[in-house]
Amino acid sequence: MSRTSRRRAVMAATLLVGLGLTTACSSGKTASDDSAGSTGGAAAGPKSGKISLTYLQKQGDQEYFVGEAAGAKARADELGIELKVVNLGNDANKTVSEVQAAIAQHTDGVIVVVPDPAVGPQIVRTARDGKVALLTSDDQICATGPDPAACAKADLVPRIGFSGAQMGGEVGKRAAAEYAEAGWKASETRIVSAWKQDVTVCGDRVKAARTAFGAAVPGVEAIDVATDNTPTGAQDKVAATLTANPGVKNWIVWGCNDENVAGGVTALTNAGLGPDRVIGVGLGAYLACKEWGSGRPSGMKAALFINGKDVGALAVQTMYDKLRNGKEFPAEGFAPTTMVDATTWKSSGLTCG
């Protein structure tokens, strides 16, 4: 190799090293750190100028998610953010295509509530390749596998929502208090624990409910019921459970959300069980309040009020802080909750659509 050729080779190598170091510094990671940005997206901030976000929601017509979208839009307006909200329904494939569409429309960040956590790795790859920040709300997803429950903590995508353990614990404690007040016997009582069993946060909630209830009331048998997290799905499954257990006198119902509990209480009511033989403790309160608004006695005795507006607002704020100021996402961010019943729900701030 000539002296001139050697000089050019050295200059080229030096330039490549310099570029590599510049990239590492600007992204806040080294070339070998593949995990950084893989779960939270590639956009690091700070960003000047207009910020645009896309909020993808499963079951966007459900009362809770309608509130979540409203909270997100209100906060976006306050911050001067351009926000697009998309209803995914229950279509997991649409989740991926809508993330791709958002990237094509030059969104700066994507917030997603997935219909199915199995699409998590594909969503993470798509966001990372498109260089957009990624945040989940409500349900978790994993960057490296379909099951967030089997995921290493470092591979969980940052999430805004509620603490499943805290929520479930409150439900279990209230169910125990209602049970004690009713004066039931453990031998005559069963618990229906209903949830979509591939959703991690649902599992966290019902497990915590069982632990809290069991600490106060030992000896009551729980029956796990797999549902699709809808009222009709829960109603059908609980009706079948009731048929399979004809000798049970009293029933306690809890689950992942208000839909499971409302569906379970309806199934028990349709089978002829009066409200004095049913203790339902909902999670959400957006369906429970409709029962209470009728003024009739109900098996829905209480519900944990989780305000979707708070989650939507907190998710948008968290994404804004990341994009505008470069503030790192928390692993999880939690909104507050309140236990309500037929006598307190109106004063709690809960609006019943």
Per residue in 149-184, pLDDT (tens digit) is 899 999 999 999 999 999 999 999 999 999 999 999
207-238: b (≥16 Cβ within 10 Å) or e? bbbbebbeeebeebebbebebbbbbebbbebb
Q: What is the pLDDT of residue 60?
A: 92
Angle, helices 231-244/258-270, rounded to nearest 10 degrees: 50
Mean pLDDT score of the chain, rounded to an integer?
A: 89
Per-residue pLDDT, averaged over 186-207, amounts to 95
Q: What pLDDT digit, counting tens, does each position of 27-36 carry?
A: 333 333 333 3
Spatial separation of the C-alpha atoms in residues 249 and 87, rounded to whole Å: 41
Q: What is the pLDDT of residue 45?
A: 66
Spatial separation of the C-alpha atoms in residues 16 and 4, rounded to whole Å: 19
Look at residue 157 and give its three-state secondary structure. coil
Is the pTM higher than 0.85? The answer reads: no
Among 28-37, 56-65, 71-80, the range with the most confident prediction by mean pLDDT is 71-80
Q: What pLDDT digit, counting tens, does each position of 291-311 carry?
A: 999 999 999 999 999 889 999
Q: What is the pLDDT of residue 349?
A: 84
Look at residue 36 and give its three-state secondary structure. coil
Q: What pLDDT digit, counting tens, does each position of 202-255 carry?
A: 999 999 999 999 999 999 999 999 999 999 999 999 999 999 999 999 999 999
Q: What pLDDT digit, counting tens, does each position of 115-142 carry?
A: 999 999 999 999 999 999 999 999 999 9
Strands (E), 162-263: 189-195, 221-226, 250-255
